Structure 1
Amino acid sequence: MTSSTREIRVEDAPARNRFEVSVDDQVVGLASYHVEGDVMTLPHTEVSPAVAGQGLGTTLVAAVLASARERHLTVLPYCSFVRHYLHEHPAEVDLVAEADRPHFGLELTSN
């Protein structure tokens, strides 16, 4: 087992309207957002190809959605990666207003 440990952080950068995921203090991904009223629009998420497949996008989106929940915001997941995350984590779909779910393909099959 190797002794190398990476420090992974997700931070809100409101001046740039995005959350950033960093590995060892180097930004390697972002999720852009716009908040208007009580709605957070999520148009784009990206992670550097150098760290693709390491779960950093998932970590980033989880933190963004946790922030939205903490701030009592609903989300509009225009980003396909965020929609994929929501499909994989149905407990988070409640962050999307019920009326908006069909637009994003997030209809729940079980009630």
Structure 2
Amino acid sequence: MNEVTGIEYDDKKGYIYIKVNDKIEAKMTFVFAGDSKIIIDHTEVNPGNNGKGFGKKMVEKAVEFAREKGITILPLCPFAKSVFDKTPEFKDVL
């Protein structure tokens, strides 16, 4: 199994994805709020992938992106918010 976590974005919005064998199996969308914040608004995992940790991996990628860019994250998506609530080491980007 070839699993890749990646990110695509422009100056307004973007998404984090997980590809398995070149097929997108999970996606987390976000929008930019000014120059210093992204808002995670939706997380979707394809059927059959529940319990594989894809959602948390995408949140981790968002945190990595925020730290690299020196920006903060507002998790409006209930799933992303729950991961942030359970993961104190991500609080620095909130």
Which TM-score applies when normalising by structure 2?
A: 0.88
Counterpart code for 1:48: N
Q: Which runs of 5+ in 1 are unaligned?
A: 1-5, 97-111
Is structure 2 residue 64 aligned with structure 1 residue 66? yes
Which TM-score applies when normalising by structure 1?
A: 0.75
For CA contacts below 8 A with separation 6 or more, give which structure has more relative contact order: 2
Aligned counterpart, 2:17: 20
User: Which contiguous aligned blocks of 4+ residues in structure 1 show a shift greater than 3 angstroms?
Assistant: none
Q: Which runs of 5+ in 2 are unaligned?
A: none
Counterpart code for 1:25: D
Aligned-residue offset at 1:20: 1.1
State the aligned residue count.
91
Give the structure with the larger helix fraction.
1
Higher Rg of the two aligned structures: 1
Give the RMSD, CA atoms, in angstroms. Answer: 1.4
Give the structure with the larger strand fraction.
2
Aligned counterpart, 1:106: none
Aligned counterpart, 1:30: 27
Write the distance in 2 (CA, Å) between the matches of 1:68 and 1:87. 17
Equivalent residue for 2:46, pick from 48, 59, 63? 48
Percent identity among equivalent residues?
23
Aligned-residue offset at 1:94: 1.8
